[in-house]
Amino acid sequence: PGHAKGDVISLDALEVVGSSDIASVYYMDICGQPTRWDGSLCEGDGPYTDPLPVGNYDVALIADNGDGETATIVAVEPLTVTAPTIKNFVTEAGYTSVKLSWDAFDGAEKYTVQIFDENATEVYMKNIFGTSVNVKGLDFAANYTVAIKAMNGKTRLSPLSTYNFTTKAYSTVEVSAVASTTNVKLVWNAVDGAAKYRVAQKIDGAWVAVKDTYDTAVYVKGLDAGTDYEFAVMPIAADKSRMAASYDDVSIATATAAAATINVTVTKKNDTMAVAKWDAVEGAAKYQIAVNGVIVKVTPLTASWVTGLVEGDVIGVRAVDANNSPLCEYSSYTF
């Protein structure tokens, strides 16, 4: 310290660790000792090329004057040495997850990975013994900071590096429901990025998954007639993470299982004809009229003539949806 270009210094002030007719490469710490990266003293002959410790230095080219006593500083340049960092760190953010990967760091036994939310609260911390990790359970459409350092035992090999990422936002799921006496048909819009959909039913106040499907429609069976139900559909990404925080954050469909039968009134007009009238059923596209279990007429109306009857014939009426799926059982009237 304190020397500049052109100064003549004593060779006794230097501890040469290597020399050459062309140049000598070495460095001194504040104690006048050549020091390795790990703090041990360097030994041996030849140009010294081990990494310098992190810090600020003056790099000098010193020419031996040949008198065995002095040398002249030919050039002095400042040098700042920074620690090597982890290379090629990649974040692949999903909806409620993120995949982290990086290049192996020389000498590292493990990597300490931390994730912080927007409030600087740590939401994840783990020592990883490979070069990648999948982290789940994050919020959707949220900003995070990930910090990573290379470790060997308790010794840190690299400075703490930080990176930012944002999880994806999900698309709205609009669900419609049409129920019969024992099942409900759910239909919803396709969601960009969804690999499949998980259908859940609210049971005793809690959401319970009942079916996974790759389609945008599904039948849920085993309902009780005249009972109200709630259903929700959760989009699932390719990495198997949910695309929303909870079922309460997606569209919820309410369905009421139809009564076991509909109320039908049959008025006899003569010995072979009658007029049947019935109550409208929600979600019905049409109504099937059967005589002795055989469908004889289909109508979108809630009343119809029934002809060709004989005494003892059983007239039945039931509602069906657009796909001819029954929404209730046949009512029964004996002519």
pLDDT score of 281: 83
Q: Please write the tens of the pLDDT for every residue from 95-135.
A: 888 999 999 998 899 999 999 999 989 999 999 999 999 99
User: What is the C-alpha separation between 37 and 31, in angstroms, rounded?
Assistant: 15
| pTM for this predicted structure | 0.46
Q: Please write the tens of the pLDDT for every residue from 183-241.
A: 788 898 888 888 999 999 988 889 999 899 999 998 887 777 677 888 888 888 887 87
226 vs 138, more confident: 138
User: What is the C-alpha separation between 52 and 60, in angstroms, rounded?
Assistant: 14
Residue 34 pLDDT greater than 50, yes or no: no
Distances (CA, A) of 179 to 83, 175, 198, 300: 66, 13, 19, 18
Q: Please write the tens of the pLDDT for every residue from 289-306.
A: 999 989 999 999 999 999
The DSSP bridge partners found for residue 199 are 211, 233
* For the chain, the helix, strand and coil percentages under 3-state DSSP, each to the nearest 5: 0, 45, 50
- DSSP codes joined into one string, 129-152: SSSEEEEE-PPTT-EEEEEEEEEE
Distances (CA, A) of 147 to 101, 150, 230: 12, 11, 42
User: What is the C-alpha separation between 109 and 87, in angstroms, rounded?
Assistant: 16
**Do 313 and 274 meet the contact criterion of CB atoms below 8 Å apart?**
no
pLDDT score of 260: 63
Residue 49 pLDDT greater than 80, yes or no: no
Residues of the chain above pLDDT 70, percent: 82
**Do 190 and 175 meet the contact criterion of CB atoms below 8 Å apart?**
no
Among 35-39, 157-161, 181-185, name the one with the lowest average pLDDT: 35-39
Backbone angles phi, psi at 14, to 5 degrees: -115, 145
The DSSP bridge partners found for residue 196 are 236
145 vs 1, more confident: 145
Distant-in-sequence, close-in-space partners of 280: CB < 8 Å, separation ≥ 6 = 302
- Specify the amino acid at residue 182: T
State how beta strands 143-152 and 161-166 pair.
antiparallel
